[in-house]
């Protein structure tokens, strides 16, 4: 039997989990099948790779040698695959635009502007709540650009491998039903909403923790928080079931008003990401960031409350 990459992944999974049972579950295999595969690998390599007993599996000296090589070979092969995909997609000019994004206000505007500026270049989109997933697709060459958000000053995913540019910084506003007693206020103290239920879209970052911390500083804990899709958040606000959290650039919506929170305890950075070693994306980056900032400016203009607030708070809004 010739040694293959999948065999090295098997050995690494057993070492990482410390158990054939756990490794089999991680690899999606039955334990007898994994045990049989390990025996074939050990036969090919000339000896046992693990000492096994009721406490688990521990690498033998031969196993440590194989693991040392596997920790070099597997990342190198993965990097080769990613580089090959990027090279295959790098033809100097963008023949197509593959965009990814979370469910925010800017992706549609960017698609519209790119389609108008490059009518011969197909534009495709992929959306996900997971910024980690979007960053992974950017890293392995399946997307050219991604639009995500980050809470406050928190770093974007894979900041050491990917290039991220800030498009704009939004304060987080509150969404209220238009008949709410506080809907006529120009600005709201967070403490004035202490008795409310809340609604927000899900995410992987620190926003939920930052919101709870902001409420604690205001002297209360939120009674409940519904994490759901944008349409459901809007519905819960419209029917008075909850008040919502949204970016300041949230578009005008019937039955809903948006109001800033005094002191701006929460903020949201809109980020455009690309892989720095993608030649085509790097060449088009200047134009794409320009279109994205124009889409952000259009989103600001659609919201009177956002436009007025940003005029008085210059540290927020579009970035140069």
Measured on CA atoms in the order 140, 146, 148, 153, is the torsion positive or negative?
positive
Tens digit of pLDDT for each residue in 95-139? 789 999 987 778 999 999 999 988 888 999 999 988 999 999 999
Question: Cα–Cα distance between 276 and 68 in angstroms, integer?
Answer: 30
pLDDT for residue 93 is more than 80: no
In percent, the amount of the chain with pLDDT more than 70 equals 96
Q: How much is the pLDDT for 24?
A: 86
Question: In terms of residues, how long is the chain?
Answer: 320
Which domains are seen in the chain, by residue range? 5-89 (1.10.10.10), 94-320 (3.40.190.290)
Q: How much is the pLDDT for 87?
A: 58
The CA-to-CA distance between both ends of the chain, in Å, stands at: 59
H-type helices in the chain, by residue range? 5-17, 20-27, 31-45, 61-89, 107-117, 131-139, 207-217, 230-238, 279-302, 304-311
Mean of the per-residue pLDDT values for the chain? 89
Q: Take residue 199 and report the two structure tokens written for it.
A: 């609604």
Q: How much is the pLDDT for 263?
A: 94
Q: How much is the pLDDT for 15?
A: 92
Residues 157-171, mean pLDDT to the nearest whole number: 93
Find where tokens 């502007």 sit.
113
CB-based burial, 31-48: b 16+ in 10 Å, e otherwise: eeebeebbeebbeebeeb
Question: Cα–Cα distance between 301 and 308 in angstroms, integer?
Answer: 10
Question: Cα–Cα distance between 285 and 126 in angstroms, integer?
Answer: 19
Q: What is the value of pTM for the model shown?
A: 0.70
In percent, the amount of the chain with pLDDT more than 90 equals 54
Q: Take residue 12 and report the two structure tokens written for it.
A: 């690494």
User: In terms of C-beta distances under 8 Å and separation of at least 24 residues, what long-range contacts does 59-67 make, across chains too?
Assistant: 59/15, 63/11, 63/15, 66/8, 66/11, 67/11, 67/12, 67/15
């Amino acid at each position: 039997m010739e040694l293959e990459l999948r065999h090295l992944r098997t050995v690494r999974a057993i070492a990482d989990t410390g158990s054939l049972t756990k490794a089999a579950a991680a690899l999606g295999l039955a334990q007898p099948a994994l045990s049989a595969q390990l025996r074939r690998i050990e036969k090919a390599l000339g000896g046992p790779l693990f000492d096994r007993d009721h406490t688990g599996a521990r690498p033998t000296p031969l196993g440590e040698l194989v693991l040392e090589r596997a920790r070099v070979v597997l990342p190198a092969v993965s990097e080769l695959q990613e580089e090959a995909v990027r090279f295959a997609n790098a033809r100097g000019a963008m023949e197509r635009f593959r965009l990814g994004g979370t469910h925010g206000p800017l992706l549609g505007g960017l698609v519209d502007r790119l389609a108008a500026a490059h009518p011969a270049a197909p534009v495709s989109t992929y959306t996900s709540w997971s910024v980690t997933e979007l960053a992974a697709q950017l890293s392995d060459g399946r997307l050219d650009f991604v639009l995500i958000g980050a809470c406050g000053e928190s770093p974007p995913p894979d900041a050491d491998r990917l290039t991220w540019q800030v498009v704009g910084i939004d304060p987080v506003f509150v969404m209220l039903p238009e008949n709410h007693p506080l809907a006529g206020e120009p600005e709201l103290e967070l403490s004035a909403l202490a008795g409310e239920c809340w609604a927000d879209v899900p995410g992987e970052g620190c926003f939920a923790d930052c919101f709870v911390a902001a409420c604690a500083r205001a002297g209360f804990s939120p009674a409940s928080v519904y994490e759901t899709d944008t349409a459901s958040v809007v519905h819960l606000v419209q029917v008075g079931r909850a008040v919502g959290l949204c970016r300041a650039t949230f578009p005008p919506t019937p039955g809903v008003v948006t109001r800033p929170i005094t002191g701006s305890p929460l903020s949201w950075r809109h980020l455009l990401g690309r892989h720095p070693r993608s030649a085509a994306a790097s060449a088009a980056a200047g134009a794409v960031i320009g279109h994205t900032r124009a889409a952000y400016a259009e989103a600001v203009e659609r919201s009177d409350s956002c436009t007025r607030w940003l005029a008085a708070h210059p540290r927020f809004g579009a970035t140069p």
